[in-house]
């Protein structure tokens, strides 16, 4: 692939054409917060945490879905971006019922880390306190929609890597829910292979091995990324 | 003309409480109510969650006895899985429990109660706390603080957290204990033992020099409940429930799974705490006491030598029969504190304690589970019902302070009768009423007011609602 140059925060960065701005930034050591992005899976640009400013455009762009172009000028750390990122994280917290202290992922959670990273000391938006379901029907795993941030990593890993496509999204906006098959209890799914990849990629505690207590299990996202790399890019 | 005296709120107990004393026409106290106005609805929040999460959720009920909740919860989970925890898992659970009991008892005695005893009930309230104690008797205060710290360190070393424990899981414990942690804890035990003996010395000295006051302070007889192991030995972790009557006769000795056959509860209109009672004796006669005095009065013996010697001396106060009077909760608490240190030593010396075989694993195999254990303040029950996926459908928590609630009311009444006279409450009378409650070391919510910084507001009303007098301190 042809090499080209872009400017990240006025610094010249060399990258390959076809790369995303997120890839170029990370390769150059510029950190960007992400949530829905998962190395090796397709990009959906859903969480809006990787937003950057693009010179010449009035709108912010998601770095994970924006492709590099010659002499593109990107800003990753402006006052406006910091404000939006913090707001986005607060909105994520306010949308479902996140109770870190009793969550299975407490201490090993990307949402929690994002909260720290953006300096969130409280949530300025009213909590929606939706009534969400806990599906513990499966003997190995459980999914708790109270904690889901709708990143759809589970949907993508299941469809693109495992090839099972057990998970999908139902509904719109804040009424969206992750569903198993055609919204059946997980245990009744005819597609789930019980591989556990969704457990490893879930950034929060929404998916977890039922019999593991807080602090007792570690997610292995790298394992899934390595697997994808070994196999070549996931299936269509 | 009846009048109502309100003491509000009580300092240095966990949470908010309010006391009202009702004077009769003779200007003597006729009735006393200890109100608990908090309603937390914890049982309801838990419905819909997975039972295996309960050992993590329930320690959030209280910052003083989180280990007990986690433990009772883990035992209820064991029952739901029909699982026997591994021997090391049991040793570690016992270790965590002894550590918490030590921390809680040390807090109760040194921080909350000893200022009253050492500085006097009538000392200035502004300095009648652990800081005042530190100024007057620094060596005692420091030792007390260190003892509590050791108790907290046990859970920290076991689980990585000082207060809200992690690590209790169905089938045992989540993490093993390292040799290094074992050694670090063992090294602190000799000093801890000395502190416990010092505390016992202080209390016995106080009893000797205040015989009349101690003998009459909130004195009433009642049945007692405690958990006993083999040959009637006091046990915090496991065993059978034993109720004894005021003379020490065994009223019932049953496995904890049968608790519902023996304990009934009644709601009262002046408090959110329910009134539990021993069913076979009925509501009027059936109120019993739990906690240190309940356990030490219900047991036949202590399983460690120094605590056993203290136990015999204690019981000899009443010819070997149960010892009555709210004040003796302090005494029993200190005997237990000594037992905790001896028990820590026994557990840490056990070669099995550092094994990595900490957890047995299982799945839901029952639809119901009862977990029981002794919390610092008394017998604790967690009772769960789950559906076939393990989601909780019903949760019942029977807590220790609830069971002591009728006794606390009685103690307040006895003390008020003795010290409150007419339409005014002196500072000393107010403090004694508070101290009667403090004997039970009640935990009414998660908040800690260890420095007694909450104001007291005391009002005196006539039957027509007119305020006759008001005393306040902040
Ligand atoms: S369950 Fe987890 S992985 Fe799936 S969408 Fe929700 S947060 Fe993302
Ligand atoms: S990581 Fe780019 S939008 Fe989520």
- How do residues A87-118 score in pLDDT, each as one tens digit? 999 999 999 999 998 898 988 999 999 999 99
CA-based nearest residue to A34, from A118, A106, A140:
A118
Identify the residue whose tokens are 């994520």.
A92
If you measure from the C-alpha of residue A194 to the centroid of ligand 2, how many angstroms do you get, rounded to a whole number?
27
CATH of the domain at A221: 3.30.70.20
pLDDT above 90 covers a percentage of chain B that reads 53
> Bridge-partner residues for B21, per DSSP?
B5, B32
Q: Where are the alpha helices (DSSP H) in chain A?
A: 21-27, 79-95, 110-117, 153-156, 197-201, 221-231
Q: Is the peptide bond before A41 cis (omega within 30 degrees of 0)?
A: no
| Of A52, A76, A100, the domain-final residue | A76
Q: How far is the CA of A31 from the centre of ligand 2 (A)?
A: 13
Of A42, A60, A76, the last residue of a domain is A76
Note whether A11 and A113 are same-domain residues.
no
Tell me what pLDDT residue A35 has.
Answer: 97
Nearest CA to ligand 1 atom 6: A148
Cβ pair A134:B52 closer than 8 A: no
The answer, yes or no, to whether residue B384 has pLDDT greater than 50, is yes
B57 and chain A in contact, CB less than 8 A: yes
What's the total number of domains in chain A? 2
Tell whether A171 and A190 lie within a shared domain: yes
DSSP B123: S
With a cut of 50, say whether residue B453 has pLDDT above it: no
With CB atoms and an 8 Å threshold, state whether B164 touches A214. Answer: no
Please list every residue in chain B whose beta carbon sits closer than 8 Å to the beta carbon of residue A132.
Answer: none
Do B83 and B360 contact (CB within 8 A), yes or no? yes
Given pLDDT bands bounded at 50, 70 and 90, which one contains residue B359? very high
A37 Cβ closer than 6 Å to some ligand 2 atom: yes
Query: Which residue of A101, A209, A211 is the best one to mutate when testing the B interface, meaning the one whose CB has the most B CBs within 10 A?
Result: A211
Query: What domains are defined for chain B?
Result: 3-38+410-473 (no CATH), 86-219+338-359 (1.10.645.10), 221-324 (no CATH)
Location of structure tokens 């306040």: B472
| B chain contacts of residue A145, beta-carbon cutoff 8 Å | none
Tell how far CA A100 is from the center of its chain. 18
Q: Which of B48, B166, B361 sits opposite A214 (nearest CB)?
A: B166
Whether the pLDDT of residue B46 is over 60: the answer is: yes
Q: What is the DSSP string of B46-61?
A: HTTSBGGGHHHHGGGG
pLDDT digits (tens, 9 = 90+) for B252-265: 999 999 999 999 98
Secondary structure (3-state) at B242: strand
A94 lies in which domain range? 84-232
List, for residues B177-189, the tens digit of each pLDDT value.
999 999 999 999 9
Range B331-360 average pLDDT:
97
pLDDT digits (tens, 9 = 90+) for B365-380: 999 999 999 999 899 9
Number of CB atoms found within 10 A of residue B9's CB? 19
pLDDT given for residue A232 in this prediction: 73
Q: Are residues A32 and A140 in the same domain?
A: no
For residues A35 and A126, membership in a common domain is answered with no
- Of A20, A25, A41, A47, best ligand 2 pocket probe by most atoms within 8 Å of the beta carbon: A47
pLDDT of A156 > 90? The answer is: yes
| pLDDT value for B64 | 67
Average predicted confidence (pLDDT) for chain A = 93
Nearest-CA distance from B202 to chain A in Å?
A: 40
Instruction: Please tell me the least confidently modeled range out of B228-232, B330-334, B396-400.
Output: B396-400
Which of A97, A158, A203, A221 best tests ligand 1's pocket when mutated (most atoms within 8 Å of CB)? A203
- CA–CA separation, A15 vs B45, rounded Å? 52
Query: Mutating which of B70, B389, B392 best tests the A interface, going by the most A Cβ atoms within 10 A?
Result: B389
Q: What are the start-end ranges of the E strands in B361-434?
A: 368-375, 378-386, 392-398
Residues A137 and A31 in one domain: no
Q: Mind listing the pLDDT tens digit for each residue in A34-51?
A: 999 999 999 999 999 999
pLDDT at B336: 98
Check which CATH number belongs to the domain holding A44 and give it: 3.10.20.740
Residue with tokens 């420095």: B451
CB B189: neighbour CB atoms within 10 A?
16
Ligand nearest to the CA of A169: 1
d(CA B5, CA B21): 5
CA gap A225, B1 in Å, rounded:
81
User: How many CA atoms are closer than 13 Å to the CA of B31, on its beta-carbon side?
Assistant: 10
C-alpha gyration radius of chain B: 22
Tokens of B400: 């220790």
Identify the residue with better confidence: A179 or B4.
A179
């Amino acid at each position: 692939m042809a090499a080209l140059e872009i400017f990240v925060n006025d610094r010249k960065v060399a990258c390959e054409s076809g790369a995303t701005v997120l890839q170029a930034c990370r390769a150059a050591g510029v950190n960007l917060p992400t949530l829905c992005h998962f190395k090796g899976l397709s990009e959906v640009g859903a969480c809006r945490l990787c937003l950057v400013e693009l010179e010449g455009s009035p709108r912010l762009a998601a770095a994970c879905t924006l492709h590099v172009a010659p002499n593109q000028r990107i800003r990753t750390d402006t006052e406006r971006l910091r404000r939006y990122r913090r707001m986005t994280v607060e909105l994520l917290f306010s949308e479902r019922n996140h109770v870190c202290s009793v969550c299975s992922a407490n201490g090993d959670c990307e949402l929690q880390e994002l909260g720290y990273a953006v300096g969130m000391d409280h949530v300025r938006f009213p909590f929606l306190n939706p009534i969400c379901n806990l599906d513990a029907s499966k003997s190995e795993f459980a999914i708790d929609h109270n904690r889901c941030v709708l990143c759809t990593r589970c949907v993508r890993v299941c469809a693109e890597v495992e090839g099972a496509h057990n998970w999908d999204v139902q509904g719109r906006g804040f009424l969206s829910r992750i569903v198993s098959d055609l919204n059946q209890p997980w245990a009744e799914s005819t597609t789930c292979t019980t591989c556990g990849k969704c457990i490893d990629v879930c950034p929060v505690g929404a998916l977890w091995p039922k019999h593991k207590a807080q602090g007792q299990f570690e997610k292995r996202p790298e394992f899934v990324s390595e697997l994808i790399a070994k196999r070549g890019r996931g299936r269509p | 003309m009846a009048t109502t005296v309100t003491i509000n709120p009580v300092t240095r107990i966990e949470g908010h409480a309010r006391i009202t004393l009702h004077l009769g026409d003779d200007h003597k106290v006729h009735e006393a109510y200890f109100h608990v106005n908090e309603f937390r609805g914890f049982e309801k929040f838990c419905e819909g969650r997975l039972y295996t999460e309960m050992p993590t959720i329930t320690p959030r009920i209280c910052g003083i006895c989180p280990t007990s909740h986690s433990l009772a919860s883990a035992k209820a989970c064991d029952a739901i899985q029909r699982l026997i925890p591994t021997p090391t898992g049991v040793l570690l659970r016992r270790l965590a429990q002894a550590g918490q009991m030590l921390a809680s008892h040390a807090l109760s005695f040194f921080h909350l109660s000893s200022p009253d005893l050492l500085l006097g009930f009538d000392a200035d309230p502004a300095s009648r706390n652990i800081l005042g104690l530190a100024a007057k008797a620094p060596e005692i205060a420091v030792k007390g603080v260190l003892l509590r710290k050791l108790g907290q360190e046990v859970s920290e070393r076991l689980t990585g957290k000082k207060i809200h424990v992690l690590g209790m899981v169905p089938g045992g414990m989540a993490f093993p204990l390292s040799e290094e942690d074992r050694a670090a804890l063992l090294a602190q035990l000799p000093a801890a033992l000395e502190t416990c003996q010092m505390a016992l010395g202080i209390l016995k000295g106080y009893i000797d020099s205040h015989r009349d006051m101690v003998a009459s302070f909130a004195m009433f007889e009642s049945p007692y409940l405690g958990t006993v192991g083999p040959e009637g030995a006091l046990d915090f972790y496991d065993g059978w429930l034993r109720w004894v009557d005021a003379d020490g006769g065994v009223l019932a000795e049953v496995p904890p799974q049968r608790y519902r056959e023996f304990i009934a509860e009644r709601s009262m209109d002046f408090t959110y705490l329910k009134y539990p009672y021993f069913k076979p004796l009925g509501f009027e006669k059936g109120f019993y006491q739990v906690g240190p005095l309940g356990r030490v009065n219900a047991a036949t013996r202590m399983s460690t030598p120094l605590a056993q010697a203290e136990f015999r001396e204690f019981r000899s106060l009443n010819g070997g029969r149960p010892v009555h009077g709210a004040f003796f909760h302090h005494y029993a608490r200190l005997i237990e504190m000594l037992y905790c240190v001896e028990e820590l030593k026994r557990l840490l010396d056990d070669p099995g304690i550092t094994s990595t075989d900490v957890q047995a694993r299982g799945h839901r195999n029952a639809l119901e589970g009862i977990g029981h254990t002794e919390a610092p303040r008394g017998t604790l029950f967690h009772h769960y019902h789950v559906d076939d996926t393990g989601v909780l459908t019903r949760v019942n928590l029977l807590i220790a302070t609830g069971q002591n609630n009728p006794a606390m009311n009685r103690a307040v009444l006895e003390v008020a009768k003795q010290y409150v006279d007419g339409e005014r409450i002196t500072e000393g009378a107010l403090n004694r009423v508070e101290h009667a409650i403090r004997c039970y070391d009640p935990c009414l919510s998660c908040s800690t007011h260890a420095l007694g910084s909450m104001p007291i507001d005391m009002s005196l009303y006539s039957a027509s609602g007119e305020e006759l007098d008001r005393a306040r301190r902040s």
